Chains A and B, each alone.
Chain A
Amino acid sequence: MMEAAKVLDAKGLACPMPVVKTKKTIEEIDSGDILEVHATDKGAKSDLAAWTKSGGHELVDEAEEEGVLKFWIKKA
């Protein structure tokens, strides 16, 4: 797994907050760096994938661990 430049804890947040927070946080990292996002909103699975695509970023990997959805997004 690539080293994340930043980890965003979006656990417990409902739609649309995971996407809004991800948008804000990705502005704090450099292009090419990885943002790791943790969420429990089940909708985040498709939402963050769609968000990543619409922003031109790359969803490098995703996983589910003990009910927590994890995403690794490479900033465009």
Chain B
Amino acid sequence: MENNTRVAIIAANGGMFDAYKVFNIATAAAASDKEVGIFFTFEGLNLIHKEAHKSLSLPEGKEHFQEGFEKANVPAIGDLLEMAQEMGVKMIGCQMTMDVMNLDKDHFVDGVEVGGAATFIEFAKDADVSLTF
């Protein structure tokens, strides 16, 4: 039952749509017994920032979708993030971007590990599925 399929995801954008794309795929994969790792870089860091992930923006002109999210009973990003962590999704925050943005590990949700591109590549080299959002 347990398999070794590995899913490697790069999260490089920081809006609410981006967050759903990343966390829905990640949690669905983790729930399907895949080994999942996400590399958060540039605006993607918003998705794991302690405060920013709670108030991600909708794209300009698409604000009306907020109502649709509520109507469809889509879980909050915070809930998806928690579930992803519970299911063992590996989360790597990009060190270089954090330096540029003057952020450190404490600004991010617990369980995030900090690393560089090489850390992600080492994880991704054996991935069966690679995705970029």
Contacts and interface: CB of A to CB of B under 8 A. Distances in A.
A54 interface: yes
A56 B1 contact: yes
Interface in B22-65: 24, 27-28, 31-34
Given A13-B73, A14-B75, A55 B24 contact: no
Interface of B: 1, 3, 24, 27-28, 31-34, 72-75, 80, 83, 87
Interface stretch (A1-9, A19-27, A66-74): A19-27
Contacts, number: 40
A54 B32 contact: yes
13 contacts: A16-B27, A16-B28, A16-B31, A19-B31, A20-B87, A23-B31, A23-B32, A50-B32, A51-B32, A54-B3, A54-B34, A55-B32, A55-B33
Nearest to A52: B32
A13 B28 CA distance: 14
B31 to A, nearest CB: 4
B75 A55 contact: no
Interface of A: 12-17, 19-20, 22-23, 47, 50-51, 54-57, 76
B13 to A, nearest CB: 19
Contacts of B72: 14
Given A55-B1, A55-B32, A20 B73 contact: no
Given A14-B75, A55-B1, A20 B33 contact: no
Given A15-B24, A19-B31, A51-B31, 12 more contacts: A14-B72, A14-B73, A16-B28, A16-B80, A17-B75, A19-B32, A20-B27, A20-B31, A23-B87, A51-B32, A54-B3, A54-B32
